[in-house]
A and B are shown apart, each in its own frame.
Chain A
Amino acid sequence: MPSVHLGQKAYAKIVLHAAKYSVVSVAGLLLGTKDGAGHLTVDDAVPLFHNVLPLSPMLEVALQQVDVYCKQTDCSIVGYYFAHELLTDTSITPFTAKVASKIDDALGGDSLLLVINNKELSSDKVAVLPYSLESGSWKVQPSSSLDVSDIAVKKVGELVKHKAYEKLVDFDNHLDDIKCNWLNPAVNQLLAT
């Protein structure tokens, strides 16, 4: 699999989402661009759900709306991230595989599936495992194929310490209160400082 650059904004939102909902599963979308050689640049993430259940209606709405956003901003849905509720579980559930494969199809291949390595969330290491679709099933890739800057990892660690995750909202929050903006401008601002 060609290499993937995981930007600070995307990595931050993934980790903050997992930190905010530490007792249940979380999932979300990865946004970015794919070049001619299949290399991905993941610029942003849209947190979707916590206490993830394999239910389609709201997921469909979320995928369609994020798609609209992508068309407006000239990027694509380049992948999906997921964290299990149990600390040591990093398996790919059938539903996760299904959603990620659908995204892969829409992208025309080379999409990224990130499974959060819950145990590493409180360490200073990169806390996600990259997967790629090979011959119809999702296979884990070497961590060297994922490029995440040390500065990003450090910054995100600090954000978690300062409970910045309280500012993060996901699509579930939005459905409960539409004033919650799933593009997370508040978190974007924190990262810009």
Chain B
Amino acid sequence: MVFNARTDLAELRALRGGLDSNAAPFYDPAHVLDSALRIVKSNSGLIDEVEKWALYEQIVVAAYDTGDVTTGNSYLDQILAKFPPKDSSRSSRLLGLQFESTGQFDKAVEVYEAALAKDESNIGLHKRIITALRAQGRKQEAIEGLVRYLDVFMSDIEGWLELSSLYLGELMYQQAAFCLEEVILLRPSNHLYHLRYADILFSFGQVELALKHYCRALELCTDNVRAFYGIRTSILALASKNDKGRGTQVDVETRDSLKKLAEEQLSSLYAKAGKDAATINTILKAWIQERA
């Protein structure tokens, strides 16, 4: 594996940008720990003093996530020395994480609550209390806490998505769908949320509405493979439920042309994917044929 400081630094910055940004790469703590450590130890002048502390913070979190408590503690000590927790909510959050890393969740929550008493609108602290519940498998309490949190911080996308996934864990599809509705209201032009909403709707039988949202996702992101698959799967589900198009808003012609569109576009995209995808392309062709 080739070490490229600039690429790694760009990835680390994207991760700090938060979940709401489309560009955020998947969080692999081992990789983050590795690349961040290399950058801070290299003294290459790529980062300034401010970014150094941000990287230290990423190192602490990633170290605890991989179970490397020693590294986490050593970088945390440096952060706490420079930014004492009694004056900093951000440091308090990390101090709480230290307790979580050794399974002392009650102590962690004490730290978060004490810091919240001085800084009650700190979103990070509120969320850590909820994730501490989730980390202990206390799902019902996590749901209740998150619902209370969202009553106040109702424009927190990450919060709504987290609640949605907690609801799905309990198979509460309707509630999960509601969360996605809130997210879509806040970010109507993000195709990913329409896709997730459609997947949820389909999963509890709202196939027509799912179809509409797959189409909307496609409008927002042309050539979106998930949208094409969603459209075709929905059309087939509608056909098996209701052959003559009675009682549905989507007539047979529209259904047929949408199915054809999805199949043609998928075929074309897969064909263009190149020789590495040759086996997969063969599978796709046969798959389409099975329910042509």
Contacts and interface: CB of A to CB of B under 8 A. Distances in A.
B137 A72 contact: no
Interface string A47-59: 0000101111110
Interface residues of B, number: 40
A181 B276 contact: yes
Interface in A10-66: 20-23, 51, 53-58, 60-61, 64-65
B210 interface: yes
A192 interface: no
B25 to A, nearest CB: 12
Given A22-B29, A64-B290, A163-B1, A57 B283 contact: no
B233 A68 contact: no
Contacts of A71: 286
Contacts of A93: 169
A172 B285 CA distance: 19
Given A175-B226, A178-B277, A54 B287 contact: no
Contact of A89 (B65, B137, B200, B283): B137
B287 A64 contact: yes
A166 interface: yes
B273 A178 contact: yes
Contacts of B137: 86, 89
B191 to A, nearest CB: 12
28 contacts: A21-B26, A22-B28, A54-B169, A54-B203, A55-B199, A55-B202, A55-B203, A56-B202, A57-B202, A57-B203, A57-B234, A58-B199, A58-B230, A64-B287, A65-B287, A72-B283, A72-B286, A86-B135, A94-B171, A95-B171, A174-B280, A175-B229, A176-B225, A178-B270, A178-B273, A179-B277, A181-B277, A181-B279
Interface of B: 1, 26-30, 65-66, 135, 137, 165, 168-169, 171, 198-200, 202-203, 210, 225-226, 229-230, 233-234, 269-270, 273-274, 276-277, 279-280, 282-284, 286-287, 290
Given A55-B203, A57-B203, A178-B225, 12 more contacts: A20-B28, A22-B28, A57-B229, A58-B229, A58-B230, A61-B229, A65-B284, A72-B283, A89-B137, A175-B226, A179-B273, A181-B276
